[in-house]
Amino acid sequence: MIEDARTPKGDPVTTDTQTPATREVRIGADAIEAGANRAIVEDMAALPSAVSLRDVNLYYGSFRAVRDVTIDIPKNRITAIIGPSGCGKSTLIRSINRMNDLIPSARVEGEMLFQGENVYADYVDPVEVRRRIGMVFQKPNPFPKSIHDNIAFGPRVNGARGNLDNLVESCLRRAAIWDEVKDKLGESGLALSGGQQQRLCIARAIATEPDMILMDEPCSSLDPRSTLQIEELMAELKEKYTIVIVTHNMQQAARASDFTVFLNMDDDRAGYVVEQGPTAQIFTNPTNQMTEDYVSGRFG
């Protein structure tokens, strides 16, 4: 019944019935309460997963940043990773598409299964992993190129040739920024406002047709209005992509995500999963006292 209520390829009825409810949630003062009202509470384990982490340990040199993480990230859902500062949320999300390979001392133990294959297996090309699992960063980082070239860059480095105007337009449309930039595609992406830059970065991320988009605190440098735009965009994008978002903002996790993973850290500063489950449950009826303390703002 759960599946019926949701995905099937943007069935207009489904979308229509969903939108007002979600909008109310966003505008409503108490997002946490509203999250609980969301009718659909799915079982995380019952859904097909896009990425499965199995006993993942992440290290920087000898320092263990993340300990024994096992999560199944459901396909076509938004999964939020929350937790106090320094608990390894960013490290965890960046390890999914092997972004942490760029840090020389970073090391991974355990399995990170993407469509059944361990992305850290010897034969896997990290470049290909990153094309399949796109990323949006904390601070908007458009390339110092034109808006058009920002989108076209990914497809081009992955071998696309010829005129990419149609692709650029469709990506910008899907990222809900087309109307704002359609008359200035030749201008620098850096000339846009912060919120526009971040949506440009999302458009850039979907231009390579990934299966999954990782968002590392995508709204932390944005104003509330841009933040809402990004959240609405995420809700639309999950029709097609699996989204993982790291956020410091608990209201955001409550408003925008379907599932929530709560990380905390021990005295050795290694982050571990305290609790994971449907967002409504994590925020209203957590099983762990620590989760309850954190989501109600008593620490973190």
Partner 1 sequence: MASSSTSVTTVAVRRTLAGHGPDWRGIVFGLLLLGSLVATLGILVTLLADQLVRGIPVYQERGLDFLTSRLSSNPATAGIGQGIVGSIIMGILVAILCFPLGILTAVYLEEYAPDNRVTRFINVNIRNLAGVPSIVYGLLGLTVFVAFFAFLGFPNNGRNIIAGALTLTALILPIVIITSAEALRAVPRSLREGGYGVGASRWQVTRKLVLPAARSGILTGTILALARALGETAPLLLAGAILGTFSSPGGLESILTGPYTVLPMTVYDWSRKPQEEFRELTSAAIIALLLITVSFNALAVLLRNRYQKQ
Applying CB under 8 A, which residues contact partner 1? 97, 99, 102, 104, 127-128, 130-132, 134-137, 139, 141-144, 153-154, 157-158, 188, 201, 204-205, 207-208
Buried b (16+ CB within 10 A) or exposed e, 167-198: bbeebbebbbbbebbeeebeeebeebeebbbb
Integer-rounded Cα radius of gyration of the chain = 19
Q: Which two tokens stand for residue 161?
A: 């040739």
Q: Which of residues 9 and 161 has its CB atom nearest to partner 1 in the complex?
A: 161
How far apart are CB 210 and partner 1 at their closest, in Å? 8
**Residue 121 buriedness (CB in 10 A; 0-12 / 13-18 / 19+):** exposed
Q: Which of residues 58 and 136 has its CB atom nearest to partner 1 in the complex?
A: 136
The strand pair at 117-118 and 106-114 is best described as antiparallel
How far apart are CB 145 and partner 1 at their closest, in Å? 9
SS (H, E, C) 212-254: EEEEECCCCCCCHHHHHHHHHHHHHHCCCCEEEEECCCHHHHH
Q: Which of residues 7 and 188 has its CB atom nearest to partner 1 in the complex?
A: 188
Of the chain, the end-to-end C-alpha distance in Å amounts to 36
How far apart are CB 205 and partner 1 at their closest, in Å? 7
How far apart are CB 49 and partner 1 at their closest, in Å? 22
How far apart are CB 184 and partner 1 at their closest, in Å? 16
Q: Which of residues 47 and 212 has its CB atom nearest to partner 1 in the complex?
A: 212
CB 188 within 8 A of CB 246: no
Q: Which of residues 131 and 255 has its CB atom nearest to partner 1 in the complex?
A: 131
Q: Which of residues 30 and 128 has its CB atom nearest to partner 1 in the complex?
A: 128
Determine the distance from the C-alpha atom of residue 279 to the mean position of all C-alpha atoms in its chain, rounded to a whole number: 14
How far apart are CB 38 and partner 1 at their closest, in Å? 31
How far apart are CB 56 and partner 1 at their closest, in Å? 20
Q: Which of residues 203 and 253 has its CB atom nearest to partner 1 in the complex?
A: 203
How far apart are CB 265 and partner 1 at their closest, in Å? 24
Q: Which of residues 70 and 105 has its CB atom nearest to partner 1 in the complex?
A: 105
For 227, phi then psi, to 5°, come to -60, -45
